[in-house]
Structure 1
């Protein structure tokens, strides 16, 4: 399945100054897209021009092959600018990193997505949740099916929370295989790689969310979508014959999501500081930034951000060194990072009161956006229960 084509993909500048420039460009349209809910095309175009959309493409395909820590730096910068853009990019970077680690896409399809990526943004997303099932990390099998035919597969199903919407170049769809010779009690489960412009794909505009409003995380329906024989990639069952969803536990690649919300917390810190420096109450006669109360709040916000950033990069550094103790803790580390970034933004908002909740203040948007960190699997209760069982069983 390995692609033989090498594409002329850019080598992005990952210096702090270059990433800060992309942050500023993406941030310039974030409020507009948050209000409209439209696909954030200008933000995605800025990411493409900077060469960040393909940063994790493997070197054998002509990409720079960025690793997890470089990826988290990219996504933190983008999350500081517009987390809706960052989420679409995060899913794409994760897809390319997965292909670099284990080639599984149909050759023609991966060549196509890279060719598209040379010309412009080509988002990819693993589309997994369903209206009835909810998040697959909670257990259960999808109702979405791929039926085997003499020439390939036919895809049918209804998915929810398909981030990227009509902007997606490719969908990676979680489904159960319907095969004449399959085991009805233990069907094969996997993903099918689907070009986003195939006949039979219909979008249902269901996304009207509190946060990440421009992420276009709508429902999508597949009706008799025709796919080639190599489009289905099985996810093997465990040695005990039980299927376990790969997203039920965190891995190094899944730290891209908390990284983008770290960016949201940094944006909130900046907004808080800007407001505090400019706000001069008549009774005080000087900026509130000069008061010890506001300085202490700023320090608390900074503490929470430093804690989240240290946990994020510290975990990845420990993985790089081969520390075996960190892998079982990745899920709870994600929980700790989520708690810290939410606390940072909530602390800033609480200190400013009404002004921070006004739509004229970007802190209101940052608060709505950062709360979305909690929805990414494994979610807090699942991670804590798994960690508790590990501790209590020795």
Structure 2
């Protein structure tokens, strides 16, 4: 195992660290007003980062998922909402480029759109009835109807981060009339920042944290997708998108929340070392309770960091597999727990000063509240980790709740490498 970053990886990581300082200056305004950080997306484009998830052989930056994970974590320290949203662009481009069933000419089209034309893309998988606790609820119900020259889409997607700022949306629809609920078609939908005919965006996103992601609900009522933007079809959606594509499907989110946790740790340390209580010659940081809380935060987040780096390195080295999926689940669980614990400890350690909106910490604490519920939910991670650790096939586990009809669950296959 070699976790040392290449010169190119380190360059991108350092660039994201610098951009985060700038993004942080505008983060409070976007958070307060629930506005999309459009200027940040423009800066990411101008900085050449629209190709961050695209392999070098296609003309992208080519830093692998290891380099990407470290870079997006740095970006999240400055503005987590920007990082969480831009992760959707990386999700779309990265997932499409690594998928073995998507034709090369379609991949090249996606590359040209992202790099040559500077088009922003997002991924939209969740629907109003999806639950981060139940993987099977992510199978698409949005209907895809075959028409001359392509498809028309009907239905809703929810939690669609950055959709209002995007030119294209990567999503899955269910072929109309297909009895298999796992059957799905991947599309790159031209949306033109929500201005396309047949697209309606509902402003539902008024939340505790991650407010500037603008993760609204989108209704598709006959929007047309031409054949050249039809990506591929599968009868095993969960195995195809979530297990085989675990790095982009959910591990990118984990890296973002790792950055949130590390940002909380760094900023808490700054506040505690700068605060001198009246009557004492040393800063608050010397208090044993402050030392203990910072120490616990550092230990948990350090372990979470290396769990994430190992999972990313394993993914880059060995490709998609059940073991790769297993590693990312463990990293996601550790990051969700460590970041949640850090948010709680930082609030206690910094006292009332940490609650004022003028401080960067208050926003990060709210952003951290979504770490355990971002798919896969922390409980769902633990459940799947337990099954895989004991060598059990998740498809043989009974559904946790009563289902409306016989549930089609795909077998977890080792052949995901193929």
**TM-score when normalising by structure 1:** 0.85
Bigger CA drift: 273-282 or 243-252? 243-252
Q: Post-superposition shift, 1:244?
A: 5.0
What residue ranges of structure 2 are gaps of 5+ in the alignment?
1-7, 393-418
Q: Which residue of 1 aligns with 2:99?
A: 102
Q: Post-superposition shift, 1:320?
A: 4.5
Q: Which residue of 2 aligns with 1:74?
A: 71
Q: Which residue of 2 aligns with 1:7?
A: none
2:35 aligned with 1:38: yes
Q: Post-superposition shift, 1:217?
A: 0.1
2:309 aligned with 1:316: no
Q: Post-superposition shift, 1:250?
A: 7.4
Q: CA deviation digits over 1:267-319, x for unaligned, max 9?
A: 21222122112222213244212333323332222212211111111222344
Q: Post-superposition shift, 1:71?
A: 0.6
Going from structure 1 to structure 2, the CA distance change for 1:17 and 1:147 (only over 3 Å counts) comes to: closer
What residue ranges of structure 1 are gaps of 5+ in the alignment?
1-10
Q: Which residue of 1 aligns with 2:337?
A: 339
Q: Post-superposition shift, 1:361?
A: 2.2
Provide the secondary structure at the position in 1 that maps to 2:21. helix
Q: Post-superposition shift, 1:83?
A: 1.0
Going from structure 1 to structure 2, the CA distance change for 1:29 and 1:185 (only over 3 Å counts) comes to: closer
The equivalent position to 1:353 in structure 2, one of 346, 351, 354, is 351
Q: Which residue of 1 aligns with 2:375?
A: 377
Q: CA deviation digits over 1:28-76, x for unaligned, max 9?
A: 2111111111110122223223222311223343212221101101111
Provide the secondary structure at the position in 2 that maps to 1:372. coil
Bigger CA drift: 32-41 or 91-100? 91-100
The equivalent position to 1:201 in structure 2, one of 181, 194, 199, is 199
The equivalent position to 1:61 in structure 2, one of 39, 44, 58, is 58
Q: Post-superposition shift, 1:184?
A: 3.9
Going from structure 1 to structure 2, the CA distance change for 1:220 and 1:312 (only over 3 Å counts) comes to: same
Provide the secondary structure at the position in 2 that maps to 1:35. helix
Q: Which residue of 1 aligns with 2:109?
A: 111
Q: CA deviation digits over 1:217-268, x for unaligned, max 9?
A: 0011111112213433444235xxx965732687233322111111112221
Whole-Å separation in 1 of the counterparts to 2:391 and 2:52 = 41
Q: Which residue of 1 aligns with 2:406?
A: none
Q: How many residues align?
A: 377
Q: Which residue of 2 aligns with 1:367?
A: 365
The equivalent position to 2:186 in structure 1, one of 166, 185, 191, is 191
Whole-Å separation in 1 of the counterparts to 2:32 and 2:103 = 36
Report matched runs for 1:261-276 at 5 Å.
261-276=257-272
Q: Which residue of 2 aligns with 1:91?
A: 88
Whole-Å separation in 1 of the counterparts to 2:214 and 2:45 = 18
Q: Post-superposition shift, 1:191?
A: 2.0
Q: CA deviation digits over 1:83-104, x for unaligned, max 9?
A: 1110122111122222322373
Contact 1:249 1:331 in 2 (8 A): no
Going from structure 1 to structure 2, the CA distance change for 1:212 and 1:247 (only over 3 Å counts) comes to: same
Q: Post-superposition shift, 1:146?
A: 1.2
Contact 1:281 1:288 in 2 (8 A): yes
Going from structure 1 to structure 2, the CA distance change for 1:209 and 1:229 (only over 3 Å counts) comes to: same
Q: Which residue of 2 aligns with 1:147?
A: 145
Q: Which residue of 2 aligns with 1:8?
A: none
Provide the secondary structure at the position in 1 that maps to 2:369. helix
Bigger CA drift: 293-302 or 37-46? 293-302
Contact 1:160 1:220 in 2 (8 A): yes
Whole-Å separation in 2 of the counterparts to 1:390 and 1:112 = 35
Q: Which residue of 1 aligns with 2:209?
A: 211
Contact 2:121 2:167 in 1 (8 A): yes
2:218 aligned with 1:220: yes
Going from structure 1 to structure 2, the CA distance change for 1:200 and 1:379 (only over 3 Å counts) comes to: same
**TM-score when normalising by structure 2:** 0.81
Provide the alpha-carbon RMSD of the alignment: 2.9
Contact 1:145 1:155 in 2 (8 A): yes
The equivalent position to 1:172 in structure 2, one of 170, 173, 186, is 170
2:246 aligned with 1:251: yes
Bigger CA drift: 336-345 or 94-103? 94-103
Contact 1:99 1:105 in 2 (8 A): no
Q: Post-superposition shift, 1:156?
A: 1.2
Whole-Å separation in 1 of the counterparts to 2:29 and 2:103 = 36
